[in-house]
Amino acid sequence: YVQGKWEAYPYQTGILDCMGNDDIREVTLLKSARVGYTKMILAAIGYYAEHKRRNQAIWQPVDDDADEFVKTELDPMIRDVPAMQRIFPWYNSRSKHNTLRQKTFLTSMLHIRGGRSAKNYRRLSLDVAILDELDGFEPDVESEGSPDGLASKRLEGATFPKLICGSTPRIEETSLIAHRARYSDRIFRYHIA
């Protein structure tokens, strides 16, 4: 935890390449704790806002997690990264474009939501949907479906839809992230000798 420019570790580069590749529609990251997933998510959000100009949403397990993500991760990135400053002129101002639930960039929007309420998945038309710590979500959101299923519905109609889910698994039999990984088309493993 030091200030300064973030540099991706070699294993993160491959994951980020998958996140940014338009030919890959879904990325499921079954991970251990403390591998820099939050930093990778931030890099992807910045990339999609600055380079691809795509509407995005990120869901955290609960509303308090979403608020904390904005305060401790997203706002500092917008404040400190020059590319973000160019496309988000409302930083440090009271504006409808700069709230805990929504960031309006010059060419796209980012919605930030908690994942426990079905209403937090409605009325969003997205190109990119991100679920952070998927195993922290309820498996069925208010009897309307799984959180990844609800998020992927928001991508219908997108030219290059992207669903990114990551989590440290909890209990194998009930793990949402393990289920997604089991049914993935391809699995890539990073091996450290």
CA triple 2-19-132, angle to 5 deg: 65
Q: How far apart, in Å, are the Cα atoms of 2 and each of 5, 6, 7, 8, 84? A: 9, 9, 12, 14, 20
CA triple 29-32-37, angle to 5 deg: 55
Choose, from 7, 68, 73, 133, the residue flagged as catalytic: 133
144 is catalytic: no
Instruction: Scan for tokens 């955290």, then name that residue.
Output: 60
Query: In whole angstroms, what separates CA 162 from the centre of its chain?
Result: 10
Residues with a catalytic annotation lie at 133
